[in-house]
Amino acid sequence: DLETFTQQSVSVIGAGWLGLPVSLKLRELEFNVKVSTTTPEKLISLKSEGLNAVLFHAAKDLLPDDLISDIVI
Looking at the chain, the whole-number percentage of residues with pLDDT higher than 90 is: 55
* pLDDT, mean over the chain: 86
* Rounded-to-integer distance, Cα 19 and Cα 33, Å: 11
pLDDT above 90 for 72: no
| Single pTM value for the model | 0.76
* Rounded-to-integer distance, Cα 13 and Cα 57, Å: 9
User: Looking at the DSSP assignment, which residues form a beta bridge with residue 10?
Assistant: 33, 71
Separation of first and last alpha carbons in the chain: 21
User: Looking at the DSSP assignment, which residues form a beta bridge with residue 37?
Assistant: 55
- Residue 50: count of CB within 10 angstroms of its CB: 10
Per-residue pLDDT tens over the stretch 2-25: 666 667 889 999 999 999 999 999
Residues 27/51, Cβ–Cβ less than 8 Å: yes
pLDDT at 58: 73
| Confidence bin at 1 (pLDDT 50/70/90) | low
